[in-house]
């Protein structure tokens, strides 16, 4: 009898291990906007926007369109100038590189973007998107929200613009615009199919060719309405184009359409969701009378007819880190990005093995201007991050800790003044940041934690410290997080150290641990 019970339990365990659930939206409850996508065989690759973060232009991969993992970045740094180095009061918040395009042509991957910060259009190419080197091509002018397109006859184009959608042919080697080529407006006032009046002109172009038609997908925003997806089609790449609205649901818009190896079609687009950022939704798509029809009866479903063993959500693009490295390891996993260009002289994972060391290489007056702030995305519906810092080597005037990073930031950390250490919580919601609470610290380190609540756009962050790593104490006040256009990005967890008086001081970070549960006490 006992043996039979054991066998039954084993069978239940095995069956449950193979049980599947329906995939649910949002696919990733984190900031993954402006997605572009390509399928190669049975593998999907997706590029997205991270603007002022480096390395930049992230590439993610998936086998099922639901579970995505980091695969690579197209560049380490976009350019090298005062804005990207956070010098002389300059910054690239909300700038850097914007919406990208990803293509696979003649056994080569191409990812392109554009940047007002660099003043150029950028194309990156590789024959190995996960482990290969990227070749960088740049040229002027800046082609806004473009889509790179390889036509069947071997010609290469970019479709770009806002309001008026424009076509330009590139040189065969993609090093610039083909000599003698005109910038042709192929769709005038593309937003007109949605409304005579608009808040946001049509932009975010993505071109697809299907059954002899060229399709250009854009977003627009009529007044007193929401982000809306429009599409124009033509038999010739230069037109004439006819257009229509294909989705108006909760502001879900801008992204790509993609087919599966089985011939099914899906659309993948983002939704503005408060301070966590622009989060991607997946929806079925079908072709009716050679027009794409998105969603189900005009609605993006909350549950998809896709079975998965487990839905990773944000866990494919965020990760904890104990900062332990062995010879041959990459310095950082692909989950990490620096806020702006790092100064590689002033961080180390080897000076104190098992710790991340951040050193102040210059004087700054705000964590928003600090070099070498290391970040990962926050994520919903709840997320928590914690760390432990050793502070013996801070100088007077130094600040270090963990930040909920956006224009309206908040952080918990340590400052050193007159050879005395204090645990502080700073709230940067207003025009001037406020040190809300200050607690004397009489040991050489402290554990820090930030909890973020994004449920139903609550958008609140809570701050804690612990002297022993077991018992957490709330500090300061609640940060009312908000998505601001100056930064144009969802909140990030960040580790920072900066000096206000003297360079050379440093902080050692023992770990970075994240959770999808927050303290509810």
pLDDT of residue 520: 64
Alpha carbon distance 230, 217 (integer Å)? 6
Residue 321 has pLDDT above 50, yes or no: yes
pTM of the model: 0.94
Quote the strand ranges of 5-83, DSSP E. 21-24, 36-40, 43-47, 53-54, 56-62, 69-75
Confidence grade of residue 516 (pLDDT, cut at 50, 70, 90): very high
Please name which of 225, 80, 100, 231 lies closest in space to residue 158, comparing C-alpha atoms: 100
Confidence grade of residue 17 (pLDDT, cut at 50, 70, 90): very low
Q: Count CA atoms within 13 Å of residue 460 on its CB side.
A: 9
End-to-end C-alpha distance for the chain, whole angstroms = 45
pLDDT of residue 327: 84
Alpha carbon distance 447, 441 (integer Å)? 12
Contact between 222 and 195 under an 8 Å Cβ cutoff? The reply is yes
pLDDT of residue 352: 97
Which residues touch 337 (CB under 8 Å, ≥6 apart)?
A: 50, 53, 54, 55, 56, 58, 374, 375, 376
- Chain centroid, CA 16 distance in Å: 34
Q: Residues, the chain, total?
A: 521
Contact between 303 and 23 under an 8 Å Cβ cutoff? The reply is yes
Alpha carbon distance 133, 266 (integer Å)? 30
Alpha carbon distance 289, 303 (integer Å)? 26
Contact between 486 and 508 under an 8 Å Cβ cutoff? The reply is no
Alpha carbon distance 46, 37 (integer Å)? 4
Tell me if residue 503 falls in helix, strand or coil.
Answer: coil
Q: In what order do the strands lie in the sheet with 69-75?
A: 36-40, 43-47, 56-62, 69-75
pLDDT of residue 521: 57
pLDDT of residue 232: 98
Alpha carbon distance 56, 34 (integer Å)? 14
> What is the DSSP code (8-state) at residue 361?
-
Burial class (CB in 10 A: 0-12, 13-18, 19+), 226: middle
Tally of CB atoms within 10 A around 211: 7
> What is the DSSP code (8-state) at residue 455?
G
Helix or strand (DSSP H, E) at 14: helix 2-18
pLDDT digits (tens, 9 = 90+) for 160-194: 999 999 999 999 999 999 999 999 999 999 999 99
> What is the DSSP code (8-state) at residue 178?
P
> What does the pLDDT average to over 310-329?
95
Which residues touch 460 (CB under 8 Å, ≥6 apart)?
A: 452, 453, 478, 479, 480, 481
pLDDT of residue 115: 98
Alpha carbon distance 220, 218 (integer Å)? 7
Residue 335 has pLDDT above 90, yes or no: yes
pLDDT digits (tens, 9 = 90+) for 415-462: 999 999 999 999 999 999 999 999 999 999 999 999 999 999 999 999
Fold of 33-310: Tachylectin-2; Chain A (2.115.10)
Share of the chain above pLDDT 90, in %: 94
> What does the pLDDT average to over 29-46?
98
pLDDT of residue 20: 80
pLDDT digits (tens, 9 = 90+) for 115-141: 999 999 999 999 999 999 999 999 999
Alpha carbon distance 40, 273 (integer Å)? 31
Contact between 468 and 443 under an 8 Å Cβ cutoff? The reply is no
Alpha carbon distance 124, 113 (integer Å)? 9
Which residues touch 465 (CB under 8 Å, ≥6 apart)?
A: 412, 423, 439, 446, 447, 448, 449, 472, 473, 475
pLDDT of residue 5: 44
Domain spans in the chain, listed from the N-terminal domain onward = 33-310, 337-515
Angle, alpha carbons 100-106-111 (nearest 5°): 15
Alpha carbon distance 121, 135 (integer Å)? 14
Extract the tokens encoding 216.
Answer: 């250009």
pLDDT digits (tens, 9 = 90+) for 356-383: 999 999 999 999 999 999 999 999 999 9
pLDDT digits (tens, 9 = 90+) for 226-262: 999 999 999 999 999 999 999 999 999 999 999 999 9
Whether the ω angle into residue 55 lies within 30 degrees of 0, i.e. cis, is yes
pLDDT of residue 9: 44
pLDDT digits (tens, 9 = 90+) for 89-114: 999 999 999 999 999 999 999 999 99
pLDDT digits (tens, 9 = 90+) for 259-280: 999 999 999 999 999 999 999 9
pLDDT digits (tens, 9 = 90+) for 477-511: 999 999 999 999 999 999 999 999 999 999 999 99
CATH of 337-515 among 3.50.50.60, 3.40.50.12280, 3.40.630.10, 2.60.120.200: 2.60.120.200
């Amino acid at each position: 009898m006992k043996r039979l019970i054991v066998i039954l339990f084993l069978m239940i365990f095995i069956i449950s291990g193979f049980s599947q659930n329906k995939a649910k939206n949002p696919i990733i409850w984190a900031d993954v906007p402006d997605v572009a996508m390509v399928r190669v065989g049975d593998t999907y690759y997706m590029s997205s926007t991270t603007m002022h973060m480096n390395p930049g232009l992230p590439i993610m991969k998936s086998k099922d369109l639901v579970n995505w993992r980091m695969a690579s970045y197209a560049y380490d740094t976009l350019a090298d100038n005062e804005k990207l180095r956070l010098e002389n009061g300059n910054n690239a918040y909300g700038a850097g590189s914007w919406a990208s395009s990803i293509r696979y042509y003649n056994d080569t991957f191409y990812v392109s973007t554009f940047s007002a910060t660099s003043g150029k259009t950028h194309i990156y190419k590789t024959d190995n998107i996960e482990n290969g080197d990227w070749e960088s091509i740049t040229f002027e002018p800046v082609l806004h929200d473009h889509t790179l397109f390889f036509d069947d006859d071997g010609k290469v184009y970019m479709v770009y613009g806002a309001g008026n959608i424009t076509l330009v042919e590139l040189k065969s080697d993609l090093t610039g615009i083909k000599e003698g080529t005109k910038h042709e407006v192929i769709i005038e006032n593309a937003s007109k199919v949605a409304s005579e009046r608009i808040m946001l002109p049509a932009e975010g172009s993505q071109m697809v060719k299907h059954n002899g038609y060229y399709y250009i997908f854009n977003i627009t925003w009529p007044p007193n309405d929401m982000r809306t997806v429009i599409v124009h089609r033509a038999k010739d790449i230069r037109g004439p184009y006819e257009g229509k609205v294909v989705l108006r649901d909760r502001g879900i818009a801008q992204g790509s359409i993609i087919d599966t190896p089985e011939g099914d079609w899906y659309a993948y687009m983002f939704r503005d969701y408060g301070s966590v950022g622009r989060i991607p939704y997946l929806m079925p798509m079908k072709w009716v009378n050679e027009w794409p029809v998105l969603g189900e009866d005009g609605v993006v479903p909350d549950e998809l007819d896709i079975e998965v063993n487990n839905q990773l959500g944000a866990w494919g693009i965020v990760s904890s880190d104990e900062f332990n490295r062995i010879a041959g390891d990459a310095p950082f996993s692909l989950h990490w990005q620096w806020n702006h260009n790092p100064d590689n002289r002033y961080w180390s994972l080897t000076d104190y093995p098992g710790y991340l060391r951040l050193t102040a290489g210059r004087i700054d007056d705000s964590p928003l201007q600090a070099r070498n702030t290391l970040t990962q995305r926050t994520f919903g519906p709840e997320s928590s991050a914690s760390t432990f810092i050793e502070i013996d080597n801070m100088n007077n005037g130094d600040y270090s800790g963990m930040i909920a990073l956006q224009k309206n930031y908040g952080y918990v950390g340590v400052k050193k003044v007159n050879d005395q250490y204090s645990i502080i919580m700073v709230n940067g919601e207003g025009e001037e940041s406020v040190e809300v609470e200050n607690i004397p610290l009489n040991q050489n380190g402290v554990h820090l934690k930030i909890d973020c609540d994004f449920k139903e756009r609550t958008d609140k962050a809570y701050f804690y410290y612990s002297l022993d790593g077991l018992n957490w104490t709330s500090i300061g006040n609640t940060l009312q997080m908000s998505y601001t256009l100056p930064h144009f990005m969802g909140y990030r967890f960040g580790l920072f150290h900066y000096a206000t008086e003297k360079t050379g001081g440093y902080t050692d970070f023992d770990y970075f641990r994240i959770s999808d549960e927050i303290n509810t006490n």
